[in-house]
């Protein structure tokens, strides 16, 4: 008779031990795969600029997106971002939107967040108020913070600086 309670106790200890051992296990992050996914998003931004796709560009941003640019912190809604980039894309022709160097990419230890540091030259043509075509070249540097949302990378924040190249 005493054997049955002993078996129950052993099973209980095994069950408790198994439960605690699985609680401490976390999924191993494949940082090579995650880097490929972030780079794919980074490179898609170039295509969105040349193809003037303000909707696809804005769809990369999370619902909590924060922009830090020209001394201002803002949290634009998606429709505002689409409108802003539609106006910009419509007013210029992109000649160059190229990385000066490969972006620097870093990840949080758990793989739920990442950031890129980007160094880019952008060259565009646009018409002035008189209809004359002019060309400008700008050197941009920015940091993009990505966060996993439902297992997909979204841009949570961009902090950008730029200077005109004469």
- HSE-CB of 131 using CA atoms within 13 angstroms: 0
Digitized pLDDT (tens) for each residue of the chain, 166 residues in all: 555 665 555 555 555 555 554 455 567 999 999 999 999 999 999 999 999 999 999 999 999 999 999 999 999 999 999 999 999 999 999 999 999 999 999 999 999 999 999 999 999 999 888 888 999 999 999 999 999 999 999 999 999 999 999 7
63-80: pLDDT as tens digits: 999 999 999 999 999 999
Residue 135 burial (CB < 10 Å; 0-12/13-18/19+)? Answer: exposed
- Any idea which architecture 29-165 has in CATH? Roll (3.10)
Ordered by start, the domain boundaries in the chain are 29-165
Percentage of the chain surpassing pLDDT 70?
A: 84
Flag whether the pTM goes above 0.85. Answer: no
């Amino acid at each position: 008779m005493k054997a049955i309670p002993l078996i129950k106790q052993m099973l209980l200890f095994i069950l408790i031990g198994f439960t605690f051992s699985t609680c401490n296990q976390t999924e191993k992050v494949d940082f090579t795969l995650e880097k490929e996914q972030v780079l794919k998003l980074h490179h898609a931004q170039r295509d969105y600029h040349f193809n003037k796709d303000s909707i696809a560009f804005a769809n990369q941003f999370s619902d909590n997106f924060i922009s830090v640019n020209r001394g201002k912190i803002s949290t634009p809604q998606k429709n505002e971002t689409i409108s802003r980039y539609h106006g910009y894309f419509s007013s210029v022709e992109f000649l160059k939107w190229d990385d000066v160097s490969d972006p620097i990419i870093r990840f949080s230890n758990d793989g739920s967040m990442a950031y890129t540091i980007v160094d880019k030259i952008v060259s565009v043509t646009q018409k002035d108020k008189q209809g004359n075509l002019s060309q400008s070249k700008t050197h941009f540097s920015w940091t993009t913070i990505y966060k996993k949302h439902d297992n997909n990378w979204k841009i949570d924040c961009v902090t950008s600086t730029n200077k005109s190249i004469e």
